[in-house]
Chain A
Amino acid sequence: MTATAERPATRGFIGRPVDRVDGRAKVTGAARYAADAPVDAPLFAVIVQSTIARGRMTAIDERATRAVPGVVEVVTYRNAPRVPALPFDFSVPVQEELAPLQTADVHYDGQHVAAVVGTTFEAAREGAALLRIEYEVQDAEVTIAAAHQIDVPEQWFGDDIQPRRGEPETAYESSDVKIDASYVTPAENHNPLEPSVTVAEWRDGDLIVHDSTQWVRGTRAALAKHFALDEERVHVIAPFLGGGFGCKGFFWPHAAIAAMAAKLTNRPVKLVLTREQMFTSCGRRSETHQHIRVGAARDGRLQAVLHDVLSESSRVGTFVEAAGGVTTMLFDIPNIAVTHRVARLDVPTPTAMRAPGEAPGSYALGSALDELAYACGIDPLDVLRRNHANTDPASGLPFSSKHLLACYERGAEAFGWSSRTPAPRSMRAGTELIGWGVATATYPAMRAPAEARVTIGTGGTIDVASATHDLGTGMYTILAQIAADTLGVDPSAVNVRIGDSTFPNAPVAGGSMSSASVGPAVQDAALRAYREAVSLATSSDSPLHGLSPDAIEAHDGTLRAKADPSRAIAYADVAQLAETGTIEALGTSAPGDEGERFSFHSFGAQFVEVRYDEELARLRVSRALGVFDCGRILNAKTARSQMIGGITWGIGMALFEETVRDDRAGAVVTNNLADYHMPVNADIPDIEVLFVEEPDLRFNPLGVRGVGEIGITGVAAAIANAVYHATGVRVRDLPIVPEKLLGSAAAV
């Protein structure tokens, strides 16, 4: 618990399984989420959504709605404040470019077409149910099979998404072993526990918004643009989120509607999307159709992979599910061709969902490599090892720190992989078939500019502030650990404040980059505060007066002389030495030019056991083990929880999850948590998580790469591969529901 100027981080707290510092507040209800925002006498808005996929409203009958006692306003395109559409150009974080409630046009089923505002939620809900809208219905295309408009985007988030290397077609054709298979992943929805919420209030022309957002600064930018305000006049507050997983990363129209309703009524307005509305209001994981051709030598060495991805998006937004990205960098493949096409449909706009691209892409590629292993007659794990990429094939750069082979080794040993018998249907326990599968996990390490402020107050309080977020992941805790580590205090002495657009800038809580972006900024701020404290203590009338900074160390909330620990001064007293009575330091962190020299990725190995009761087509995941290489782990407990969550979600992706649309109407029919199946506790076995913990100091001073998304990647492939091993049935379209396995007895 000591820190010095030369080596500030003693790592006393970093890495430890520290309990969540916000845990007590969350379980006691003291933590205030967006819907708990303490606004005076709010009105309640309930959204009404379209029930046609394409066309226009021809009549809106508000009479019954307005007759409900307590209904005060009905906001539709006829009276909503005019706001501009926000283009998808990275200047504001929108996925859907359609400005809400501006015209009578309907572009998909589930589009917001009205908001009923009442003095109580009940009144608004009843009024919403009574709103009568007539439509002129136009022909709609709501399935990929029906799509006429297929886009071929060249780029997505700065990456070339139609890359080629070598001579893929020729290399494939001349390969000894060929796999040609198509894989389908369905649309899926994020389903965070907390639905999306916006509480909007106008005060003297300023807009104050309590919002369930993964990006307070992004939401601020979007609202400022919508309402033509300087960004400083929009204040976005989001101290806690009940999960986000991507559906709160971008700005969605309901937030603008809340602000419109507040403007029209001149009252604070609280808007909470219903669970049903969440399925069309804030994105989903796009359905993908992936055609993969693998050409390899008989020893399993890859010669060529051609990976064609077709995903779906709306006509009023932009999104590409870049599932082919994994093929460009995950294995050493001399010849590749990756294509991405997007079917533009009359459906809501998709968005990033935990490991966008990698989650469906790792399923398809991981399945194809397992098929290759069986075609070559070699162990699936050996295929992965033999094709290990020592440098990034996409960029040609060396990886900053890659320990994937160690993940395979440790995982195989812990799982007992060597006792696997390769033939499908060859392992049994009692009447059940057993299958073991393996696949590779991968997610890029990303980082964005971030700032944080550390303040040492008069009472010795240590305050950390940054406009970052806690999605339930442990951000409060790791920032407290980092500051505590640097300043030599206990994490419980650090007060972390986040989720406020007025705090120092931080990026979206997405792309698994918060720890690697904000962590180093907090470390920098804490270090600056420490240096300022040392400077004050050594230059003022204090027990440390006259000492060189190098002769000082931090210990238990004090600065003391290394040579004589009895010469000490508490941070509280050091702060008093400052003119203002506080020591305040702004820290910054940003990527430099390291990306020109190294490729930054996290990796992992997923091992899964399934058990299959063939008579009843009953499939269960009975064991799951993940080994991950994610750089330094900041908190062993919260990082492990992230991985358990990711693997659990991977089990859901493999076996259960599917957003089903009625093909005729284009409306989601699994729009509730009874029909949209997620795993329950009884579906989830003990999940073992191991880390190959090698700090990636080429990436940032903390050596951390982020743990948010990699956990889900590879899981569905490992399960599908285990299912093949157990049953002899190769399921190429998720989820693996009983009807796809019913014929298993006849499969081999």
Chain B
Amino acid sequence: MRAFEYVVADSPASARALVREVDGARFYAGGTTLVDLMKSDVEQPRRVVDISRLALTAVERRGDVVRIGALARNSDVAYDPLIAQNFPAISEALLSGASGQIRNAATIGGNLLQRTRCTYFRETRWRCNKREPGSGCDALEGFNRGHAVLGTSSACIATYPGDFAVALAALSARVVVEGDGGERTIALDDFYVLPGDHPERETAVGPGDLITAVEVSVEPLHARSHYLKVRDRASFEFALVSVACAAWLNDERIDQVRLALGGVGTVPWRARDAEIALAGAAPDDDAFRDAADIALAGAVPRAHNGFKVELAKRAIVRALRTVCGGAA
């Protein structure tokens, strides 16, 4: 960790201004990702702008949209009746992440920006294109059991580690950002950026952008959503694979379906081709398995993570069966 300047912001505008003043300054909310990375020298901000006291913590319904303040704590959001009733997948995803202590500290906005758990990213001794663009990737031929099989590139196979954003991907959520041009809304699909040749670029937010809220539409489909997380141990553990899905049946056929995957992609992975295949299908294991095959069709496994392909398919089948009302 390097010495840094600590300043407290009293409004979103001042927070943005304070970050803009110093190259490489960082917002600090829950600190659950940033402080870890500062300790290991991966992040070396010269200034840390504390935004944790800004009034961005409300969870409120505005018409058919629920707006979650960016500084709402993960645990508060998970237990909020507006969330639990309208978006069970979001509640389940939040509660499956980290530990009680961390969920009490972590914020919704910060959670969206959670960095990968890739060992080769998190220790400065290794080559990492995400940390040092152009330096190479030691994960490609290294210990890559936890790494992504979807959305990878020859520059990066780091997994997007979170749960919450996977549920948001399935529910077509939007991220509200305040930037130099005022407030703008970014669809979750557009919020995360595939690594390609520039894995250092992870999201659509730029310097001086401040996430202020997440919006999710209230609709019957979203109330029939579910998040399933498969991991090595029962708690306090990142996903090997996870599935967020929602389904609405009509006349014993799948009318609408949403499917997103975690633990297997370089970004929260919306499986649109699988959704298309499922539309109109009978909700049975054959259809689920076909959809799972489609969802993983583009998978590129490495030496240690090949099992994720089959495991993800099984998790998809289980999760779809659950939301379609079949026996778990």
Contacts and interface: CB of A to CB of B under 8 A. Distances in A.
Real binding pair:
yes
A167 interface: no
B314 A615 contact: yes
A681 B307 contact: no
Contact of B310 (A129, A431, A655, A742): A742
Contact of A680 (B119, B230, B236, B240): B236
Contacts of A389: none
B53 interface: no
B233 A126 contact: no
A617 interface: yes
B317 interface: yes
B232 A738 contact: yes
A125 B234 contact: no
B328 A662 contact: no
Interface in B215-260: 230, 232-238, 240
A616 B232 contact: no
Contacts of A681: 235
A660 B311 contact: no
A660 B143 contact: yes
A682 B2 contact: no
A675 B234 contact: no
A51 B125 contact: yes
* Interface SS majority for chain B: loop
Nearest to B122: A672
Given A126-B3, A431-B328, A615-B317, A680 B235 contact: yes
A677 B141 CA distance: 22
Given A662-B142, A738-B311, A739-B307, A683 B233 contact: yes
B314 A617 contact: yes
A664 B141 contact: yes
Contacts of B120: 669
A656 interface: yes
Contact of B117 (A656, A663, A674): A674
Contacts of B235: 680-683
B311 A664 contact: no
Contact of A679 (B142, B230, B233, B327): B233
B230 A618 contact: yes
A125 B314 contact: no
Contact of B2 (A129, A669, A679): A129
Contacts of B2: 126, 129
Interface string B285-317: 000000000000000000000110011001101
Given A662-B142, A739-B307, A742-B307, A677 B232 contact: yes
A630 B234 CA distance: 32
A122 interface: yes
Interface in A121-141: 122, 125-126, 129
B318 interface: yes
Contacts of B143: 660, 662-663, 669-670
B159 to A, nearest CB: 13
A683 B234 contact: yes
Contacts of B240: 738
Contacts of B318: 615-616
Given A126-B2, A615-B318, A677 B237 contact: yes
Interface in A691-748: 737-739, 742
Contacts of A679: 233
A220 interface: no
Contacts of B233: 655-656, 677, 679-680, 682-683
B1 interface: yes
Contacts of B236: 680, 682
B148 to A, nearest CB: 16
A618 B327 CA distance: 17
Interface string A116-160: 000000100110010000000000000000000000000000000
B237 A620 contact: no
B234 A122 contact: no
A677 B235 CA distance: 11
Interface string B22-66: 000000000000000000010000000000000000000000000
Contacts of B142: 662, 664, 669
A125 B39 CA distance: 9
B315 A616 contact: yes
Nearest to B321: A615
Give the most central of A276, A679, A680: most B CB within 10 Å. Answer: A680
Interface string B205-220: 0000000000000000
A617 B237 CA distance: 16
Interface string B149-186: 00000000000000000000000000000000000000
A242 B141 CA distance: 37
Contact of A616 (B3, B238, B307, B314): B314
A667 interface: yes
Nearest to A618: B230
Contacts of B3: 122, 126
Contacts of A122: 1, 3
Contacts of A617: 230, 311, 314
A404 B112 CA distance: 56
Contacts of B232: 655-656, 677, 737-738
Nearest to A49: B125
Contacts of A674: 117, 238
Contact of B125 (A126, A615, A667, A737): A667
Interface in B95-111: 99
A431 B322 CA distance: 14
Contacts of A737: 232
Nearest to A129: B41
Give the most central of A51, A669, A682, A737: most B CB within 10 Å. Answer: A669
B266 to A, nearest CB: 19
A675 B118 CA distance: 10
A663 B303 CA distance: 12
B13 to A, nearest CB: 32
A431 B230 CA distance: 17
Nearest to B236: A680
Nearest to A614: B314
Interface string A639-662: 000000000000000011000101
A122 B232 CA distance: 35
A125 B307 contact: no
Contacts of A677: 232-233, 237
Contacts of A664: 141-142
Contacts of B234: 620, 680, 682-683
Interface in A248-283: 276
B230 to A, nearest CB: 5
Contacts of A663: 143
Interface in A585-624: 615-618, 620
Contacts of B41: 129
A373 B240 CA distance: 35
Interface string A319-362: 00000000000000000000000000000000000000000000
Contacts of A618: 230
Contacts of B117: 674-675
A123 to B, nearest CB: 8
Interface string A419-435: 00000000000010000
A528 B15 CA distance: 73
A679 B236 CA distance: 10
14 contacts: A615-B318, A616-B315, A617-B311, A620-B234, A662-B143, A663-B143, A664-B141, A677-B237, A680-B235, A680-B236, A680-B237, A738-B230, A738-B307, A742-B310
Interface of A: 51, 122, 125-126, 129, 276, 431, 615-618, 620, 655-656, 660, 662-664, 667, 669-670, 674-675, 677, 679-683, 737-739, 742
Q: What are the nearest 8 A-B pairs in CB distance? A: A739-B307, A682-B234, A682-B235, A669-B119, A51-B125, A683-B234, A680-B236, A669-B143
Given A51-B125, A125-B1, A664-B142, 17 more contacts: A129-B41, A276-B123, A431-B327, A616-B311, A616-B315, A616-B318, A617-B230, A655-B233, A663-B143, A667-B125, A670-B119, A677-B237, A681-B235, A682-B233, A738-B230, A738-B311, A742-B310
